[in-house]
Amino acid sequence: MEALFLLCSIVSTCFTSLALSLLLPVHALLRRLLPPRAAAALSSRIGCGGGGCGAAALYEGTVWHERRRPVRHSFRYAVRYALVDLDGAPPGAAAGHLSADEARRFAGTNGPIFLLTIPPSVGYEQNPLSLYYCYDLKGATQHLHKCIAEVTNTPWGERVLFVFNPNSDLVAKPLHVSPFMDMLGNWTIKANAPRDNLYVAISVQHPKLGNYFTATLKAKRVSSSTLSNHATFFWLMPHKVALWIYWHAFKLWWKNVSFIQHPRYTNPMYREEAAERDRGLRCCEAFHPDGMKDSPPTGTNSDSSSGKSCVDRCFVWRDAKWPWS
């Protein structure tokens, strides 16, 4: 049944995106002829979603995945991202994501918030990972203090948000992101402050397979002054990401990598177990990520075996919408 829903969703998306793509040349012409306010309203319907890309920097780079066990499999693809200043973005520019104030409360910071994401294109959105860069203000200076990861799985559309230390952090896997990975293991994640270049790296440590998977994003900032229309810059970008996901899922299946059913069918408590495993990681004496002493606690628990106080990480899950719910 889920396969049928997926097929219907793909067909519907194809027709919708085709129709909106045919409107892009008309949209470009109308932008030249209409008053600025009317052109902006039109952009919100066809372009980057919501109110357009707004106060955003544009990045172009490469995503690279490498799986080393139980079979070797790697690939890379070109990608385009927008880095949206959530404090300066017009209303609706980041629809479906946290607002600047929500991100500040979640991360416990007091400075600017920037969202790295792939904007919707011609009626479709696909974001395996969006990042919020949360800055702290100290006098006249600001520094990147925390990041918020917003991870969405394909094709189910479930989402989890959690705060991590951008210098380096270790997180118990909280989401079934792939039918070819189980829920065991931890993510090591790090990110730099985005300037002319940005970098994000995630690796997976598994109790049986070891350090068996790595994913990176490397991107450079591009000039937006030469772009007359952000909708053209991001045209079909979400579709290309989805195509790569499905194509390489097929290749892993072809290589006889075991297909793992979503844990909601076999272990309804998998989210609670992930949160408990993460608390165990943060109580562990061997885990001391840089800057963790400066982290504002979202909740503390005492580890009676060692007498230490453990900081609980807050995971926020969003269930899949119909038909996956």
How crowded is residue 235: how many other Cβ atoms within 10 Å of its Cβ? 19
User: What are the contacts of 1-10 at 24+ separation with CB within 8 A?
Assistant: 2/323, 2/324, 5/323, 5/324, 6/155, 9/155, 9/323
CA distances from 153 to 111, 130, 176, 241 (A): 29, 12, 7, 12
Computed over every residue of the chain, the mean pLDDT equals 83
According to DSSP, the β-strands at 113-117 and 73-85 are: antiparallel
| pLDDT tens per residue across span 204-261 | 999 999 999 999 999 999 987 655 567 888 988 999 999 999 999 999 999 999 999 9
| pLDDT tens per residue across span 16-59 | 766 666 666 666 665 666 565 555 554 544 444 433 455 689 99
Amino acid type, 273: E
Token duo for residue 90? 């017009």
Closest CA to 172 of 64, 286, 278: 278
User: What are the contacts of 322-325 at 24+ separation with CB within 8 A?
Assistant: 323/2, 323/5, 323/9, 324/2, 324/5, 324/155, 324/156, 324/157, 324/158
How crowded is residue 133: how many other Cβ atoms within 10 Å of its Cβ? 26
| pLDDT tens per residue across span 60-90 | 999 999 999 999 999 999 999 999 999 988 8
List, in order, residues 6 or more apart from 217 with CB less than 8 Å away: 61, 62, 63, 79, 129, 198, 199, 200, 201
Kindly report the backbone phi and psi dihedral angles of residue 297, in degrees, each rounded to the nearest multiple of 5, phi listed first.
-70, 140
